[in-house]
A and B are shown apart, each in its own frame.
Chain A
Amino acid sequence: MMVENKELKIEKIKNGTVIDHIPSGLGLKVLKILHIDEDIKTSVFLGIHVPSKKMGFKDILKIENRYLAPKEIAKISLIAPMATVNKIKDYEIAEKYNVPPPKEVIGIVKCSNPNCVTNLNEPVVTEFKVISTEPLRIKCSYCEREMEGKDIIHNII
């Protein structure tokens, strides 16, 4: 019961997207990768450190009048592979899905190796192979540097 009460602290949205089960503390990062900043023209609600039956604590993000592009979902999967995305239409969940673990990571993460050729001014997009999903470990297809955890999160473009 307590959990439900706390969740009600965040307003329901009419249309838009709810990203649930974001690991506690990473909600702000999700805002950042979705480029939600001072120019925002719609209502956004972020719950940080919200009690959760499944996760202990979680972050939850509600964005009004916006649906996510596949590339945005791919970015979220890098930092919150256990997140669920709900498409809300007229206050109801129209569609609900888990963020699929990435198979490859193209053009959404910068290589953390400062000496990687992709960090030069060359006409290429970054490309990583996924080595493992739990925990997520990726490898640059150019310099072969492996990245994981915070290293990936800090380098999302």
Chain B
Amino acid sequence: MLKGKDIVSIKDFSEKEIFEIFEVAKEMVQYAKGKGTDILKGKILATLFFEPSTRTRFSFETAMLRLGGGVLSFSDPKSTSLSKGETLADTIRMMDSYADVIVIRHSYEGAARLASKFADHPVINAGDGAGQHPTQTLLDLFTIHNNFGTLKNLKIGLLGDLKYGRTVHSLAIALSNFGSKLYLISPKSLEMPDHIMREIQEKQKPIVTNNIFDVIGELDVLYVTRIQKERFPDATEYMKIAGSYRVDLALLEKAKRELIIMHPLPRVDEIAPEVDNTPHAKYFEQAFNGVPIRMAILSMVLGVR
């Protein structure tokens, strides 16, 4: 059903398509864990990461390799002809003639949409500036769905940097479409931007607070994001704010037993390491889910599934 389709924004998917991806991803878990298969034998994935990435790039490459396909990539964007002044459009046209599917990460918003216009093969967006990162959103939704069996009527807290955190924007919109209640928990200066709020408010009135202690007891999911030091004018202010958004055992004493904690990673110190050993911690499971989700997407857009 997704054969030949570009994956640029989570908004390009219907609810039905999202659940179909989950179904295929569930089958892919065994292959993600190492059981051999070669359903994508002879297919080539080009990964064009113009911005650094560890998890996303490795999980795409792992997904392709475990399905028996091959991977083309460059180690450093400075080594490409873009640094010689070539347009992105030309780079894409060239790579499109070498590969069967293209994954792109770029610092400019809309870069993946542009790439999809110049490529005949499917283009998958792996993050465009502050814009979309649909496979991250899918793996986040998949992780929630795996733990609760639904995406409806859950109480989901998004904590931390809601202003600049790319992953929380598309996740918030997707979750409000599915009918889960959102709790937006952030310092005043890092609240959800207006244009995202408008889209959320078309579906629901989210709870907005800057105190996690007020709402922790109600939540089924707590999605934590990193508050970056460079967003603050001085180090003392950062320490003060970041400290009050740290998830630790003391906070979790007030939480429901079923609460799951997620994080797109990399984590710095917003989740205390001792939380890793609690049943709440799902962020490594979430990171693993990137592989079966991306396996599902690659095999679906290539028409094998």
What residues of chain A have their CB less than 8 Å away from a CB belonging to chain B? Answer: 111, 113, 115-124, 140-146
Contacts and interface: CB of A to CB of B under 8 A. Distances in A.
Given A142-B114, A143-B131, A115 B9 contact: no
A109 to B, nearest CB: 14
A58 to B, nearest CB: 31
B87 A117 contact: no
Given A120-B87, A123-B87, A142-B109, 11 more contacts: A113-B109, A115-B107, A117-B88, A117-B106, A117-B111, A119-B108, A122-B88, A140-B110, A143-B109, A143-B110, A144-B110
B117 interface: yes
B130 interface: yes
Chain B, interface SS category = mixed
B110 A117 contact: yes
B195 A142 contact: no
24 contacts: A113-B109, A115-B107, A115-B129, A116-B108, A116-B109, A117-B109, A117-B110, A117-B111, A119-B108, A120-B108, A121-B87, A122-B87, A122-B114, A123-B87, A124-B117, A140-B110, A141-B113, A142-B109, A143-B109, A143-B113, A143-B128, A143-B131, A144-B131, A146-B198
Contacts of B89: 122-124
Contacts of B107: 115
Given A142-B114, A143-B131, A117 B108 contact: yes
B114 A145 contact: no
B117 A144 contact: no
A22 B140 CA distance: 49
Interface string B80-114: 00000001110000000000000000111111011
Given A124-B89, A144-B132, A117 B113 contact: yes
Q: Which 9 pairs show the lowest CB-CB distances between chains A and B?
A: A142-B110, A143-B109, A143-B110, A117-B110, A117-B108, A117-B111, A142-B113, A117-B114, A146-B195
Interface in B114-132: 114, 117, 128-132
Contact of B109 (A124, A144, A146): A144
A145 B113 CA distance: 13
B201 to A, nearest CB: 14
Nearest to B87: A122
A63 B129 CA distance: 44
A139 to B, nearest CB: 9
B195 A124 contact: no
Contacts of B113: 117, 141-143
A115 B129 CA distance: 8
A127 to B, nearest CB: 9
Contacts of A116: 108-110
A116 to B, nearest CB: 5
Contact of A120 (B88, B117, B195, B198): B88
